[in-house]
């Protein structure tokens, strides 16, 4: 084969299809060491469907229920709200994955995962911090949470803050229900709320 076109075709075909598998891990390690891994994420399976779990160097920032196609939205939101330096690094999520598995298997009642609260602001932050203190198997009303957040009359605003909870399951907004005994809404749909409350024994 002596013509350039043939040599080019052969040369292009000879290039590797993919970088070596280790290249991705190496890149993530280097990014973390250089302080460039602003947001790491991984997919985690659960009985409530696939989750995306994301963390900054300070701690967890996102736990998202994902439907087909909604994963990109979650990542785009993180890029806009936290940092565009968003990388998939499954190796950094062994501990969250283990704790979530244990929780869903009924073998864990609280999470020992650091949370990065710095991306939350104002009343939402207060409400979600108060919610994080509700123990496994306990229930609170929206007005309990509003009071705990320092604004007893802001019941509706508390409901909105819970609806915007970026870390469902780990920040247990499912433990907040309506005063009359109705379940109220839930970020991932009320079926998931029912599932979690049954898991915790507060709903029969």
Partner 1 sequence: MSVRLPPFQSLLDAHRADVYRFCVAMVGAVEADDCFQETWIAALRAYPRLRQADNLRAWLFRIARNKAIDAHRARSRRPVPVEAVPETATSPSAGGAEDNEPELWARVRELPPKQRTAVFCREVLRMPYAELALLLDSSEDAARRSVHEGLKKLRKEYVR
Contact present, 157 and 163 (Cβ < 8 Å)? no
> Minimum Å distance from CB 80 to partner 1?
6
**Which residues share a beta bridge with 40?**
55, 87
Among candidates 30, 53, 186, 187, which has minimal Cα distance to 116?
53
Shortest distance in whole angstroms from residue 58 CB to partner 1? 17
The Cα 167–Cα 187 span in angstroms is 10
Of residues 30 and 178, the one with the C-beta less far from partner 1: 30
Residue 9: partners with Cβ closer than 8 Å, 6 or more residues away: none
Site size toward partner 1, by CB under 8 A = 37
Q: Which is nearer to partner 1, 63 or 196 (CB)?
A: 63
Q: Which of 158, 173, 197, 199 is catalytic?
A: 173
Please say which residue, 15 or 204, places its beta carbon nearer to partner 1: 15
66 annotated active-site: no
Is 18 a binder of partner 1 (CB under 8 A)? Answer: yes
Residue 115 corresponds to which tokens in the numbers above? 């949370």
User: In whole angstroms, how large is the CA radius of gyration of the chain?
Assistant: 22
The answer to the question of residue 91 lying near partner 1 (CB under 8 A) is no
Asked if 2 touches partner 1 (CB under 8 A), the answer is yes
* Residue 59 near residue 115 (C-beta atoms within 8 A): yes
Minimum distance, C-beta of residue 88 to partner 1, in the bound complex (Å): 5
Q: Copy the structure tokens of residue 40.
A: 């790491």
Binding residues for partner 1, rule: CB under 8 A, are 2-4, 7-8, 10-12, 14-20, 23-24, 26-27, 30-31, 34, 36, 39, 41, 72, 75-76, 78-80, 83-88
């Amino acid at each position: 084969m002596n013509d350039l076109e043939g040599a080019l075709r052969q040369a292009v075909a000879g290039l590797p299809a993919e970088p070596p598998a280790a290249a991705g891990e190496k890149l993530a390690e280097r990014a973390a060491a250089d302080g460039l891994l602003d947001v790491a994420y991984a997919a985690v399976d659960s009985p409530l469907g696939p989750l995306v779990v994301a963390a900054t160097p300070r701690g967890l920032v996102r736990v998202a229920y994902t439907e087909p196609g909604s994963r990109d939205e979650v990542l785009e939101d993180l890029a806009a709200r936290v940092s565009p330096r968003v990388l998939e690094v499954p190796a950094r999520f062994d501990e969250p994955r283990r704790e979530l598995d244990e929780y869903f298997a009924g073998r864990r009642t609280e999470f020992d995962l650091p949370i990065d609260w710095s991306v939350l602001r104002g009343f939402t932050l207060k409400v979600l911090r108060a919610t994080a203190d509700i123990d496994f198997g306990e229930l609170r009303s929206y007005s309990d949470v509003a009071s705990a957040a320092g604004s007893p009359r802001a019941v509706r605003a508390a409901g909105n803050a819970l609806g915007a909870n970026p870390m469902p399951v780990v920040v247990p907004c499912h433990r907040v229900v309506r005063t009359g005994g109705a379940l109220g809404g839930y970020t991932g749909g009320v079926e998931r709320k029912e599932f979690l409350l049954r898991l915790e024994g507060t709903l029969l």
